[in-house]
Amino acid sequence: MRGTMHKLLKSAAAVVVALLLAGAPASAAGKLDGRWTLTITIPESPTSNAKRTLTVMLDVSPRGDSLNGRLSVTDDSNRTVSGAWRQVGKQVSITYELPCAADGSAACGSLVMLGKLKGDSIRKGRVIVMWDTPSDSNPALYDTANGSFNGERLP
């Protein structure tokens, strides 16, 4: 009886360890929710080769049971817009609309950012800008451009 109990306990311990290890990759990835500062580099406009750098603050809400979450983005001119985010493991995607300048001095567009969360930072993230200018030659039907971003979690 004692040998059987010992074998059962060893088996149960092995199952618990296996379950914990199976869940390790999911729990090893940090969560995006919280406050972040992002540095985004994109072209100035759909027709420009000159780059501009944006510094924005994200306030990322938890997802709960949903596949995506909400966030607010505040730029260095104190304009705030809403956006959405999604996380699968360490991979995160963030989308939001660039605030348009009232005087038309800055091009409007949508940003789609894809990056990898590593601890309290996002490094070498990629940005796709879909400008608000139609383009029959682009499969997206609008002008697009590429950029990059990095992010740091705020305390």
Q: Domain spans of the chain?
A: 1-29, 34-153
Residue in 109, 100, 98, 106 with CA at minimum distance from that of residue 131: 109
Would you write out the chain's pLDDT as a tens digit for each of its 155 residues? 444 433 433 443 333 333 333 333 333 458 899 999 999 999 998 989 999 999 999 999 988 887 789 999 999 989 999 999 999 999 999 999 998 777 777 778 999 999 999 999 999 999 999 999 999 999 999 999 999 999 999 99
What is the structure's pLDDT at 66? 78
What is the structure's pLDDT at 29? 56
What does pTM read for this prediction?
0.77
Q: Which secondary-structure segment (H or E) carries 13? A: helix 2-28
> Does CATH number 3.90.1150.10 belong to domain 34-153?
no
Tell me the one-letter amino acid at 108.
Answer: C
- Give the integer Cα–Cα distance in Å for 81 and 95: 11
